[in-house]
Amino acid sequence: MRARKISAMLMAGAMVLSLTACGGGTDKTTEAAKTEEPAATEVKTEATTEAKTKEAAEEETDAEGNKIAVAGNQDAEQKLVIWTLSNDLKQFAGHYCENHPDVQIETVVIAPADYPTKVQAAMRGRQAEPDIIVGEPQMLETMYEAGYFEDLNQEPYNAQDYADQEVDYAWQIGQDADGIQRAITYQITPAGVFYRRDIAEKVFGTSDPEEIGKLFADYDTIKTTGQTLKDAGYKIFASEGEMNYWAGDSAWVVDGKLNVDQDRKDYMDLCVYLYQNDMTAYVDAWSTTWYNAMAGEIPVIDADTSVWDDAAMAEAEKSGNTTEVFAYGLPTWGTLVMRDNVKDLSGQWGVCSGPSYGFGGGTYIGISALSENKDLAWDFLKSTTLDADTLNWWVDVSEGDVVSFLPVLEQHKDDENQVYGGEKLYDFFLKQAEGIDTSRITKYDEPLKKAWGEAITAIKTGTMDEESAISNFYDVVESTYPELTVER
Amino acid sequence: MATKIKRTLLYIALTLLAICCMIPFALMIINATRTGSEIANSFSLVPGKALADNWATLSSYFDLFKGMRNSLIVAIPATLLTAYFSAMTAYAMTVYKFKGNKLLFGVIVVFMMIPGQLSLIGFYDLVTNLRLVNSYLPLILPSIAVPGTVFFLRQYCETVLPMPLLEAARMDGASELHIFHKIVLPILSPGIATMSIGAFIGNWNSYLIPLILLNSPDKFTLPVMIASLNSSTDIMRNQGAIYLAVAISVIPILIAFAFCSKYIIGSITAGGVKE
């Protein structure tokens, strides 16, 4: 009896659930309809009304494209399976299917942290699915070594023929240690210094990107710039780690040996200096206040105030002291992050070059070595990364992603971005990309950078002196990567 | 007077504890109604206005209820299998005397201590060779053998199962399976219910193994679907949607818990033998 009772109640529970499911289903349409209203009522000026409605319309179409896991005709003869870690490829897949009615594409989006595990398992099981796999720069070397990617230099692909149409650094990241093309990207991600034009005008008398770039030319100049801004009542950065895209001019690992050169130590000095001399807002990148500072004034807080603590923040605000942040260091996709957060300061920002050349992130697409649809996969890959029409479409849809295909970059060279005072960002980022040296990328970069960052935090907050923090860093490296030689 | 003060203090302390327990839940629900940048920008207990937006974002990425259905397809059979077979094993190990019983118990205890992630790759290879990738079977069937539940129920059997009752049943000519179904299962039900809650929550929240084994988005269980929100380019906007998805996905667990906890309390008082 009891067992029957249990199952009866479980069934009842399931029924209740499916009922709520249906209820939710009907709500969906009404709620979707509602979403447009706030977008229309919030707007103030005519110009923004236009922008907003345009954005809303585009969002709608995007949304439709995103939802469908399988793009294209369900009965289509040819089927391509993509495993990716960002939603971009879903949109590309939808676009591809529009032009190729005989193809359906299934796009599986997997959280970046678990992506390598998922691909590794499938490759171990020698599965013919997926046809297309992707990687971020820090994952690629491991994936090349494991032989997951098809050699794109061989017949019938002949990827090397396209080499001069792509931005050099992005092309090189797609090559394995032997220089064989394994993956191709559609975007470049060089970093730039995003700065406040109005503050620059007030403090330095100019807001010209060339001139401001000189203020960030090297670490010592940044220290002086920070001092000038501090004297004028501003903070140079929100977090002291803003220059991390330009940290270090050499590889972390050279010939199996850990390489900590003077430049790394200088970067460490810079972070500690900025922090200890009260030139930052004492917040972490990507935290609440860090975002707020993009839109203007933030309360002055000292090193001990937790920005996550409401009461402490309220107290800091009550003191009436506010400050403004001058600059951020972000890669190309930072333009979109800023755009969504600058609010009234839209148009007051500018972008200039940093102390050297750096980049962050990027999605590289390749064909799985085990795929059975390699020809179709190559056609998709080619149309996504090496086709002017697709990439022009992408520039529009993504609202400003910087593509890696040179002909399209040339076309958009004179596009002005109004959020950044009409600066020609495509031209700027292309110039930045030309300076990037890919020879210093290793598979150890991300974890080593993180460990080095922890050492910097320990020093700047005074929990460790420089010597023991660095020696602690060496210990961490030695125990994590026994294959590396560490010379202290 | 003194007891009154004591009681007041006790209640204040308990209320505080209760609030501490509720706040994360409340925050989750409140954050489900706020936009991504609001969540990043400040901490608040006042609900926002973005519930509809979040819902729109969420449903633009996937069909949440499909994920729920998929999760239920995995979690319910898995929980039932765990409950039934673990109880059976535990009962046999307590009541029957056979060679190697102790050894078997030792093996079970040892297996309890091996974390599931350790055998992940081997499990994947096995599943590939059985051609069961992208199917729910490898997610459901292994729950027949759950050492932790067997271990718990064995201890439970030893304390609550009255041997005279079983002997009486046997004398009346009941078959062994009949005894198990009609007498043992009802007596064990509080213990089984307790373990079932855990098993259901575990299966419902299971992430790594479904992630590795399921390939087509149509078959993704809820946690795998929700995690894919993290991989979008516009992570900030998705924060609210993630909270909303999590808040909704908790509902079945609440239902399971409400149902099972009532069952536990009801059954603890109703024993098999009046003493």
Q: Is A58 on the interface with B (CB under 8 A)?
A: no
The reported pLDDT for the residue numbered B266 is: 60
DSSP A348: S
Residue A468 or residue A126, greater confidence = A468
Residues 290-309 of A with CB under 8 A from B: 291-292, 308
Residue contact B236–A337, C-beta within 8 A: yes
Domain encompassing residue A212:
192-359+439-480
List C-alpha distances in Å: A398 to A335, A343, A381, B215. 11, 20, 18, 27
User: Confidence class of residue A314 from pLDDT cuts 50, 70 and 90?
Assistant: low
Helix, strand, coil percentages, rounded to 5, for chain B: 80, 0, 20
Residues A370 and A404 grouped into a single domain: yes
Pairwise CA distance, residues B66 & A24, whole Å: 12
Residues A366 and A286 grouped into a single domain: no
User: CA-nearest residue of chain B to A295?
Assistant: B41
| Identity of the residue in B51, B212, B218 whose CB atom sits nearest the CB atom of A121 | B212
**Domain spanning B60-269: CATH 1.10.3720.10:** yes
User: Confidence class of residue A302 from pLDDT cuts 50, 70 and 90?
Assistant: low
DSSP B50: -
Residues A387 and A409 grouped into a single domain: yes
- Parse chain B into domains and list their residue ranges: 60-269
Side-chain half-sphere exposure of B43, counting CA atoms within 13 A? 15
User: Confidence class of residue A312 from pLDDT cuts 50, 70 and 90?
Assistant: low
User: Confidence class of residue B92 from pLDDT cuts 50, 70 and 90?
Assistant: very high
| Residue A153 forms part of a structural domain | yes
Residues A279 and A311 grouped into a single domain: yes
For residue A340, the chain B residues in CB contact (below 8 A) are 37, 236-237
Pairwise CA distance, residues A170 & A362, whole Å: 9
pLDDT, one tens digit per residue, over A436-451 is: 888 878 888 888 888 9
Residues A354 and A287 grouped into a single domain: yes
User: CA-nearest residue of chain A to B66?
Assistant: A21
For residue B123, the chain A residues in CB contact (below 8 A) are none
SS (H, E, C) B177-236: HHHHHHHHHHHHHHHHHHHHHHHHHHHHHCCHHHHHHCCCHHHCCHHHHHHHHCCCCCHH
Residue contact B56–A63, C-beta within 8 A: yes
Report whether B56 contacts A63 (CB < 8 A): yes
| Residue A264 forms part of a structural domain | yes
User: Confidence class of residue A12 from pLDDT cuts 50, 70 and 90?
Assistant: very low
In angstroms, the separation between the Cα of residue B14 and the nearest Cα of chain A is 24
Q: Is A170 exposed, middle or buried (0-12, 13-18, 19+ CB in 10 A)?
A: buried
Q: Is the pLDDT of residue A138 over 80?
A: yes
| Identity of the residue in A88, A291, A292 whose CB atom sits nearest the CB atom of B233 | A88
Residues A334 and A216 grouped into a single domain: yes
Q: Is the pLDDT of residue B186 over 70?
A: yes
Residues A89 and A185 grouped into a single domain: yes
For β-strands A364-367 and A325-331, DSSP reports them as: unpaired
- Angle at Cα A105 formed by Cα A99 and Cα A109, nearest 5°? 125
Mean of the per-residue pLDDT values of chain A: 80
User: CA-nearest residue of chain A to B181?
Assistant: A3
Report whether A135 contacts A366 (CB < 8 A): yes
| Identity of the residue in A13, A117, A292 whose CB atom sits nearest the CB atom of B41 | A292
The reported pLDDT for the residue numbered A303 is: 52
Q: How is residue B161 written in tokens?
A: 């199962």
Report whether A381 contacts A132 (CB < 8 A): yes
| Residue A137 forms part of a structural domain | yes
User: Confidence class of residue B179 from pLDDT cuts 50, 70 and 90?
Assistant: very high
Pairwise CA distance, residues B214 & A41, whole Å: 43
CA torsion angle B237 B240 B242 B248 (round to 10)? -150
Residues A165 and A207 grouped into a single domain: no
For residue A71, the chain B residues in CB contact (below 8 A) are none
Residues A443 and A298 grouped into a single domain: yes
| Identity of the residue in A106, A118, A124 whose CB atom sits nearest the CB atom of B211 | A118
| Residue A102 forms part of a structural domain | yes
Interface test with A, best of B39, B230, B239 (most A CBs within 10 A): B230
Pairwise CA distance, residues A103 & A137, whole Å: 29
Average pLDDT over residues A418-426: 88
The reported pLDDT for the residue numbered A318 is: 61
Provide DSSP, A381-404. Answer: HHHHHS-HHHHHHHHHHTTS--BS
Residues A323 and A457 grouped into a single domain: yes
Q: Is A343 on the interface with B (CB under 8 A)?
A: no
Residues A231 and A271 grouped into a single domain: yes
| Identity of the residue in A3, A35, A288 whose CB atom sits nearest the CB atom of B53 | A35
Pairwise CA distance, residues B252 & B270, whole Å: 27
Residue contact B42–A124, C-beta within 8 A: no
Q: Is A97 left (phi over 0), alpha (psi -120 to 50) or beta?
A: alpha
Q: How is residue A144 written in tokens?
A: 């090349």
Report whether A203 contacts A232 (CB < 8 A): yes
The reported pLDDT for the residue numbered B115 is: 82
Residue contact A66–B121, C-beta within 8 A: no
Residues A161 and A261 grouped into a single domain: no
In angstroms, the separation between the Cα of residue B5 and the nearest Cα of chain A is 31
ipTM confidence score? 0.75
Pairwise CA distance, residues A118 & A382, whole Å: 25
DSSP A165: G
Interface test with A, best of B60, B192, B207 (most A CBs within 10 A): B60
- CATH number of the domain where residue A318 is located: 3.40.190.10
Q: Is A161 on the interface with B (CB under 8 A)?
A: no
pLDDT, one tens digit per residue, over A29-52 is: 333 333 333 333 333 333 333 333
Total domains in chain A come to: 2
